[in-house]
Amino acid sequence: MAEYRITHQTRYAYSQMVSLSQQLLHVEPRALPWQRLLGGSLYIQPHPQLQSEQQDHFGNPCTLLELSQPHQQLIITTELHVEVLPRARIDPDSSLPWQEVVAACRYHRGTQAHLEVLAFRHESPHVHIKHDFAGYARDCFPADTPVLAGAQALMAKIHRDFSFDPDATHIGTPLQEVLERRRGVCQDFAHLMIACLRSLGLPARYVSGYLLTSPPPGQPRLIGADASHAWVSVWCPHNGWADFDPTNGVLPDCQHITLGWGRDFSDVTPLRGVIVGGGAHTLEVEVTVLPLDDAGS
Is the pLDDT at 224 greater than 80? The verdict is no
Rounded CA-CA distance 130/1 in Å is: 40
Peptide bond just before 46 cis, omega within 30 deg? yes
Rounded CA-CA distance 209/6 in Å is: 11
Residue-wise pLDDT tens digits, 54-112: 999 999 999 999 999 999 999 999 999 999 999 988 899 999 999 999 998 876 665 55
For residue 116, the model assigns a pLDDT of: 81
User: Which position has the higher pLDDT, 108 or 124?
Assistant: 124
**For the ranges 111-125, 188-202, 245-259, which has the lowest average pLDDT?**
111-125
**For the ranges 67-81, 177-191, 211-225, which has the lowest average pLDDT?**
211-225
- Full-prediction pTM beyond 0.85? yes
Is the pLDDT at 296 greater than 50? The verdict is no
Residue 124 pairs with which residues in a beta bridge? 127
For the chain, the farthest-separated pair of C-alpha atoms sits apart, in whole angstroms, at: 62
Is the pLDDT at 273 greater than 70? The verdict is yes
Rounded CA-CA distance 200/105 in Å is: 12
For residue 182, the model assigns a pLDDT of: 97
**Which whole-number Å values give the CA distances from 257 to 19, 132, 210, in the listed order?**
35, 32, 5
Helix axes 147-161 and 98-105, enclosed angle (nearest 10): 110
Rounded CA-CA distance 268/105 in Å is: 24
For residue 113, the model assigns a pLDDT of: 60
For residue 100, the model assigns a pLDDT of: 95
For residue 22, the model assigns a pLDDT of: 97
CB 95 within 8 A of CB 236: yes
Rounded CA-CA distance 150/147 in Å is: 5
Is the pLDDT at 165 greater than 80? The verdict is yes
Amino acid identity of 178? Answer: V
For residue 227, the model assigns a pLDDT of: 82
Tell me whether strands 228-236 and 204-211 are parallel, antiparallel or unpaired: antiparallel
Tell me the DSSP string of 176-241. Answer: HHHHHHTEE-HHHHHHHHHHHHHHTT--EEEEEEEE---PPTT-PPPTTBB-EEEEEEEEETTTEE
User: What is the number of other CB atoms lying within 10 angstroms of the CB of residue 112?
Assistant: 8
% pLDDT > 70, the chain? 94
User: What is the number of other CB atoms lying within 10 angstroms of the CB of residue 160?
Assistant: 9
> Where do the domains of the chain lie, and which CATH numbers do they carry?
2-85+269-295 (2.60.40.2250), 92-267 (3.10.620.30)
